[in-house]
Chain A
Amino acid sequence: MRGPSAAFAPSFFDGAFLAELRANVGGDHGFLVEIFKMFVDDAPQVFNDILQALHGRDAVLLKTKVHRLKGSAMNVGAYRLKDICVKIEEELAEGSRQEELAKLVADLKKILGKTLEEVVHVI
């Protein structure tokens, strides 16, 4: 079975969750690659939708897309991405201040970038 190098400790993924995921699929590396490829392919598109919703001040669409990204992040153990999505959801629930939302979406962009960079090391 292939896997991450022993020295690599992920910062944007939950190591324990990844170990569990690997065990759950019986070390099927091909399956993991497929799952993470879906994540890598889809997450930037969802982020673009988030940006579009932010610029269009469409709170409903923003909430939907952030929720969607949060779900994907949870399914692959990308905990920092999940956390920032939760923050944005909370901000939206509190009244959608545009400035604060824009700041959080900027943070989301950085975290998503780092998360995607780290994918290659965790599978």
Chain B
Amino acid sequence: MEQSHGDERYTVTLDDDRIVPKLIETYTEIKTLGFSCASDLMAASDNLKPVAAFIDIHLGQKESGTTLIPVLRKKWLGCTFVVITGDRDEDALAQAFRLGADDVIYKPLRPVELQARLKTRLKSHAKKNGSDSILRFADVGYDPATRLLAGPQTSMVIPPLEGKILESLLANPERVMSKSEIKSLCWSQVVVSDIAFYRRIHSVKGYLSSVSSGVTLCSHYGVGVSLGYSKPEASVKKPDSVTSQLGLE
């Protein structure tokens, strides 16, 4: 049974210090369910649907909270993942973001920072988390809020820049987009080399081929790129499987 607390929103905190959930609950003014070890949280995870999860990078002896993020992100679509740390350990933070963390907060916890970050995140997710925000093309769906790309083969969280590229292409599904247009939409004022540009395009192509049976990026020499779809010979899963993978059923 899913833990609902009526209509009440709640967060989840994974930290071996029980002061942390207490402070988070008080500062965010949102009820939090505190877990001190990863296995307890994983055991309960199917019955939870938090709006945000606060996860300590360094847990017990061999546990790192961040390794749970990819698994939990698939279960808790639309949830904001915030990692908590007392260190400025760049490697650990980079790993946390690679694994899908949305944000970081440092100890000691401060309400102004916590509230500002959470409010912005929740607002952004509330706006993007409705089914209308899911961008679809043929058998793939992409949720910009969670950067979850889903298709009949599998689903995965893709990196932010690749997400932007895909988002711009999905927003213009019938059109060939020029290199300069994509650069401007995704890199803004930053000057980006063609090598770097095509490296990202190649990554997007790879992600699409992993999740989809027929969607690909088509290059149009001297013009730009567009999304293309060729129906595979073998039967594909029903189109609503994308909706299901994005947790909209």
Contact with A along B1-44 (1 / 0, CB 8 A): 00000000000000111111011001100000000000000000
Interface residue SS majority, chain B: loop
A24 and B17 form a contact (CB under 8 A): no
Contact with B along A63-75 (1 / 0, CB 8 A): 0100110111011
A61 and B61 form a contact (CB under 8 A): yes
- A34 contact set on B, CB distance < 8 A: 22
Output the least CB separation between B93 and chain A (Å): 15
Give the contacting residue for B19; candidates A20, A24, A25, A75; CB below 8 A: A75
- B56 contact set on A, CB distance < 8 A: 71
Please report the C-alpha to C-alpha distance between residue A71 and residue B15 in the assembled complex, in whole angstroms: 10
A residues contacting the other copy or chain, number (CB 8 A): 22
Please report the C-alpha to C-alpha distance between residue A101 and residue B43 in the assembled complex, in whole angstroms: 37
B109 and A75 form a contact (CB under 8 A): yes
Give the contacting residue for A71; candidates B61, B62, B86; CB below 8 A: B86
- B15 contact set on A, CB distance < 8 A: 71
Give the contacting residue for B17; candidates A17, A25, A64, A75; CB below 8 A: A75
- A75 contact set on B, CB distance < 8 A: 17, 19-20, 23, 107-109
B61 and A74 form a contact (CB under 8 A): no
B residues contacting the other copy or chain, number (CB 8 A): 21
- B58 contact set on A, CB distance < 8 A: 64, 67
A67 and B60 form a contact (CB under 8 A): no
Given A38-B22, A42-B18, A71-B17, decide whether A64 and B107 contact each other with a Cβ distance below 8 A: no
Give the contacting residue for A24; candidates B18, B62, B86, B111; CB below 8 A: B111
Please report the C-alpha to C-alpha distance between residue A42 and residue B36 in the assembled complex, in whole angstroms: 13
Q: Does A35 contact B (CB under 8 A)?
A: yes
Give the contacting residue for B61; candidates A25, A39, A42, A60; CB below 8 A: A60
B86 and A74 form a contact (CB under 8 A): yes
Residue of B nearest to A67 (CB): B58
B19 and A72 form a contact (CB under 8 A): yes
B86 and A76 form a contact (CB under 8 A): no
- A60 contact set on B, CB distance < 8 A: 61-62
Given A24-B110, A74-B108, decide whether A38 and B19 contact each other with a Cβ distance below 8 A: yes
Contact with A along B144-172 (1 / 0, CB 8 A): 00000000000000000000000000000
A71 and B107 form a contact (CB under 8 A): yes
Please report the C-alpha to C-alpha distance between residue A25 and residue B110 in the assembled complex, in whole angstroms: 11
- A64 contact set on B, CB distance < 8 A: 58, 60-61
Residue of B nearest to A14 (CB): B108
Given A24-B111, A75-B109, A76-B19, decide whether A31 and B26 contact each other with a Cβ distance below 8 A: yes
A17 and B19 form a contact (CB under 8 A): no
**Residues 20-72 (chain A) with a chain B CB within 8 angstroms:** 20, 24-25, 31, 34-35, 38-39, 42, 60-61, 64, 67-68, 70-72
- B108 contact set on A, CB distance < 8 A: 17, 74-75, 77
B16 and A35 form a contact (CB under 8 A): no
Please report the C-alpha to C-alpha distance between residue A42 and residue B15 in the assembled complex, in whole angstroms: 14
Output the least CB separation between B197 and chain A (Å): 40
Residue of A nearest to B61 (CB): A64
Residue of B nearest to A53 (CB): B61
A selection of 11 A-B contacts at a CB cut-off of 8 Å is: A20-B110, A24-B110, A39-B19, A42-B18, A42-B19, A60-B62, A67-B58, A71-B107, A72-B17, A72-B19, A75-B107
